[in-house]
């Protein structure tokens, strides 16, 4: 590993035609309720901490076949490089759940990479609702302490849920008012850390995170009313990150696509609680 290089980090996964969900430290990053056949990838530097880390790839097929295969690869690339074509593979884990007595296997490994698999903590876990390929790894390059590591430890109670619901209501009112500047100010911690993780200027990240495309096109996007029924409180990252969902993985703030039936853009927000208040962290 080049000691003077601060690499960017990503994950690539493939599920061989199965519905799936990908989480880091049990914080949802990607969900597909329909079979997916193409590889997917995400930059994840802002979710990688010093030392031990974990990724969870959930699947819920009716049954596996001998061709069923799950792949998770950890990627790294130098600043300024194109991650789509210049990323290197630190290691790859493959699971073939349709084969008898199959176990996750590390099929490739770059010993010079900043990310190394935790061989004793990689597992495929069968459950009634879904199955999970857990991929644990060590990060050997120094990372900042991210906000998701610093929130208060939360408890799954009605009081926590109701308090967070009020914060969602406050933000939903900003969306109703089309107050993009106030929304960007509310996400300042997230924007600062995304800029740090990506190496992009903060102004550029703020512009990219803008919701003006929704506000400026009311003929295409319509803000969904705030849900009135009690929502589900979700906790991740050792109970330091919280978010609310309605049914399944639906979220309280989303824009319906006016010209497309049953299609919406979800505003996924992840919160921490510190200094007596809720703060958007991701």
pLDDT tens digits for 20-47? 999 999 999 999 888 888 899 999 999 9
Q: What is the pLDDT of residues 114-143, one digit of tens each?
A: 999 998 899 999 988 899 999 999 999 999
Q: β-strand 232-236 against 254-257: which pairing, if any? A: unpaired
Lowest mean pLDDT among 92-106, 195-209, 234-248, 249-263: 249-263
State percent of the chain over pLDDT 90: 86
pTM for the full model?
0.91
Q: What is the pLDDT of residues 177-206, one digit of tens each?
A: 999 999 999 999 999 999 999 999 999 999
Q: Please tell me the predicted confidence (pLDDT) of residue 201.
A: 95
In angstroms, the CA 266 to CA 282 distance is: 14
Q: Please tell me the predicted confidence (pLDDT) of residue 270.
A: 97
The token duo for 240 is 């330091």
Torsion of CA 276, 163, 144, 190, to 10 degrees: -110
Average pLDDT for the chain: 94
Structural contact between residues 263 and 257, judged by C-beta atoms closer than 8 angstroms: yes
In terms of Cβ atoms closer than 10 Å to its own Cβ (0-12, 13-18, 19+), residue 178 is middle
Residue 154 DSSP class = P
Chain center to CA of 91: 20
Give start and end residues of each alpha helix (H) in 104-257: 158-176, 180-186, 188-198, 202-208, 212-215
The token duo for 35 is 């079979």
């Amino acid at each position: 590993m080049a000691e003077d290089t601060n690499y960017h980090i990503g994950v690539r996964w493939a599920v061989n035609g199965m519905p799936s969900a990908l989480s880091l430290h049990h914080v949802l990053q990607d969900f597909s309720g329909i079979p997916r056949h193409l590889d997917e990838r995400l930059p994840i530097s802002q979710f990688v901490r010093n030392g031990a880390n974990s990724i969870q790839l959930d699947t819920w097929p009716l049954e596996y076949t001998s061709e069923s295969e799950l792949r998770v690869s950890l990627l790294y690339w130098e600043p300024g490089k194109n991650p789509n074509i210049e990323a290197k593979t630190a290691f790859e884990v493959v699971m073939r759940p349709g084969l008898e007595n199959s176990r996750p296997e590390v099929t490739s490994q770059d010993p010079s990479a900043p990310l190394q698999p935790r061989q004793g903590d990689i597992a495929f876990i069968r459950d009634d609702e879904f199955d999970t390929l857990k991929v644990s790894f060590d990060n050997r390059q120094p990372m900042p302490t991210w906000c998701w590591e610093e929130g208060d430890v939360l408890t799954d109670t009605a009081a926590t849920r109701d308090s967070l619901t009020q914060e969602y209501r406050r933000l939903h009112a900003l969306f109703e008012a089309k107050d993009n500047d106030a929304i960007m100010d509310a996400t300042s911690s997230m924007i600062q850390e995304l800029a740090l993780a990506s190496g992009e200027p903060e102004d550029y990240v703020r512009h990219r995170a803008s919701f003006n495309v929704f506000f400026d096109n009311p003929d295409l996007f319509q803000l969904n009313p705030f849900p009135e029924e009690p929502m589900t409180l979700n906790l991740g990252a050792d109970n330091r990150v919280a978010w609310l969902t309605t049914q399944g993985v639906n979220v309280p703030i989303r824009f319906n696509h006016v010209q497309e039936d049953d299609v919406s853009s979800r505003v996924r927000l992840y919160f921490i609680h510190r200094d007596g208040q809720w703060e958007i962290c991701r």
